[in-house]
Structure 1
């Protein structure tokens, strides 16, 4: 479903009604001109757009005909880079869709796109759940790891991309799944932190996409305790470093509002945090994100230099992205962006054509 949970601009009563067609979602979800207008209206300068209909790891394109599948992936990547991102230079951080069934072909696709300035790869948080070798099968994924490091490309593991939902029981309320959905990124963080690639590749960069940050201080405390108590018999060795130190060297995290994460940012590492929008999904604060974010940052007395890192500088550094090559900083403020969107309709509108049940 290309419109999966695309509820931006719709009333909360419709959040549980998946759109049945493009006429039931904002045009900004699928038309690039309208997307930039929505970004301007929401005070957002840049965006990295994850793939919806092929899946975050490209599962839709994984057919039995691998030559055909590769052509599909390359066609999507060409469209995304040249037509979507190319329509508004510097407004989007381009992203490569992986050839997940073939690490050698995946490595080639990473290199092909890095040559035109793409330093982001979308990937599953758990390949084993999709029927592929796990992150711990080093030799299988080695061509991909090599390509990521050689091109300084970030591996973005997105929550739920494996298709494994956190459902505790068939009769559990939907609220249980929604609450637990970001938690599978915790499993991915542990899986990757204890994996061989982290030790083999000092330059490996991994982004935990849409996973929040409030859980990270306890996670870092737990991995250090695990290392202290069990590394003697498990054989883990980080070369004299603690797992928490290694985490800060390799991982980028993100938050939407997350007051707890902002309050504990020093324990996480300010250089390891990015703000995210989540447009057009239901966790998004669009179009009022700047005001809500400002409220959280002010309540926690976050200084300007840290705000700058979390809201744009860390993203620029990690993804080789410089929006100011095309846009002056005076035109990149929330006020300037919103002025450019004057007259653009951001009102809440009911769009669903089916009645809510249950």
Structure 2
């Protein structure tokens, strides 16, 4: 892949790798025996949440990637020690250098340890989320908040909804541009009445909320897990964002909250045309007797209330004639192994080959500026 064009880019889905001692230093004393941390073993370093029954997760899956090209295809090799990770994964100064090398003006930053959303003890989860947000905004993004756009995580699960509302309000008051929710909460659908106060609060704040794939999954990482099981989960997480959309629409969330802005993060866009066509067809045939009674077609809710992100989706780009490109946004997914660093420019050129440059600019830059209310000039 080669490109002679150096486009200015904004990645709406990138990640940080948290310091190994973040929760050991920031959690209240009563939670320290369960603090997420890095555990060194003979076969590598692992993220663990001790005394919770959660399985370990290899460090190399998050930030230790060295992308190369084999037969024109980006591939990755991962290290297995925390110290092997690329410095930009945790050092904001190094991150800006890597941004500049890719022509990236800004990134929306999501967690590295998305498994924190899978913690079952709600009080522990909420404490971990608060500690993460404090570190993200006060230590990492504060280095250059115009280019490092933190997504404030909200604690949801088998506990009250008030802590999530309080965390959203705290960071909205401090200028946060977006929030993070997991793709699922076991035992609850997003249309449940439990979440209604949260939707109302976020709608009033006017801040978009992202549902990130892999956040909230049941961890399956251990030495005995078969590769087939892992990849079924990894790919299924992306595909399941279509299910997240269905939960929200058929739960009448966007109907009750017409100004709520929701982002389906890291699920690609190739599925959208087919799913919306199918959902609209079923709506036309059956809406007279289904509950709840929807006022609009599912596709109308999608294009009014939702945005979707992708990092490498040429098939999805080819479906643009049936999509609204103003609701679609490119992402680099730095520093993850699935990301396109250090070949962001080449990947964009390949995926958008033959597409009008105004559309490319919208999907790789302008849509993000508008949705997140970003400063357009690089600082």
TM norm structure 1: 0.79
Measured in 2, the distance between the counterparts of 1:177 and 1:134 equals: 19
Alignment partner for residue 30 of structure 1, among 90, 97, 103? 90
Q: Does 2:174 align with 1:121?
A: no
Matched, 1:110 2:163: no
Q: Confirm whether residue 317 of structure 1 aligns to residue 377 of structure 2.
A: no
Q: Distance in 2 between matches of 1:56 and 1:203?
A: 30
1:134 to 181, 189, 193: 189
Deviations 1:106-137 (A, max 9, x none): 11111110111113111111112xx5x32121
Q: For residues 56 and 120 of structure 1, what CA distance do their matches in structure 2 show?
A: 20
Query: 1:69 and 1:216, CA in 2 relative to 1: closer, same or farther beyond 3 A?
Result: closer
Greater fraction of residues in helix: 1
Runs of 4+ in 1 over 6 A off after TM superposition: 15-18
| Match of residue 278, structure 1, among 317, 333, 336 | 333
Instruction: Find 1:21's aligned residue among 70, 74, 81.
Output: 81
Partner of 2:300: 245
- The whole-number CA distance in structure 2 between the counterparts of 1:25 and 1:206 is 32
Aligned residues of 1:156 and 1:206 also touching (Cα < 8 A): yes
Q: Give secondary structure in 1 for the equivalent of 2:288.
A: helix
Q: CA deviation at 1:175?
A: 5.2
Distance 1:7 1:184, change over 3 A: farther
For residue 214 of structure 1, give the secondary structure of its aligned residue in structure 2: coil
Aligned partners of 2:220, 2:319: CA distance in 1, in Å? 26
What residue in structure 1 maps to residue 63 of structure 2? Answer: 6
Greater strand content: 2
Relative to structure 1, the CA distance from residue 134 to residue 45 in structure 2 (aligned partners, 3 Å threshold; closer, same or farther) is same
Cα distance in 1 for partners of 2:339, 2:127 equals: 33
Gaps of 5+ in 2: 1-46, 48-58
Q: How many residues align?
A: 313
Instruction: Work out which of the residue numbers 245, 262, 271 in structure 2 matches 1:206.
Output: 262
Alpha-carbon distance change, 170 to 19 in structure 1, aligned in 2, over 3 angstroms: closer
Query: What pairs up with 1:218-297 in 2 under 5 angstroms?
Result: 218-239=274-295, 241-297=296-352
Residues 71 and 172 (structure 1 numbering): CA distance in 2 closer, same or farther, change over 3 Å? closer
- Structure 1 gaps of 5+ residues are 328-358
Structure 2 contact 327–367 (Cα < 8 Å) conserved: yes
Segment drifting more, 180-189 vs 87-96: 180-189
Aligned-pair distance for 1:201? 0.2
1:79 aligned to 2:109? no
Deviations along 1:200-259, one digit per CA (max 9) or x if unpaired, are: 0001111110000011100110110111122222134332x2211111111101111211
Corresponding residue number in structure 1 for 2:202? 148
Quote the Cα distance in structure 1 between the aligned partners of 2:136 and 2:109. Answer: 9
For the aligned residues, what is the CA RMSD?
Answer: 2.8
SS at structure 1 position matched to 2:104? coil
**Using a 3 Å threshold, how does the CA distance of structure 1 residues 4 and 102 change in structure 2: closer, same or farther?**
farther
SS in 1 for 2:303: helix
What's the offset of the Cα at 1:151? 0.8
Secondary structure at 1:85 match in 2: helix
- TM-score for both structures, normalised by structure 2: 0.75
> Superposed, which structure 2 residues align to 1:49-64 within 5 Å?
49-53=109-113, 55=114, 58-60=117-119, 63=121
2-structure distance, mates of 1:56, 1:315: 26
**CA deviation profile, 1:150-185 (whole Å, cap 9, x unmatched):** 111222111121214899x96847655554442111
| Structure 1 residue 83, shift from structure 2 partner | 1.8
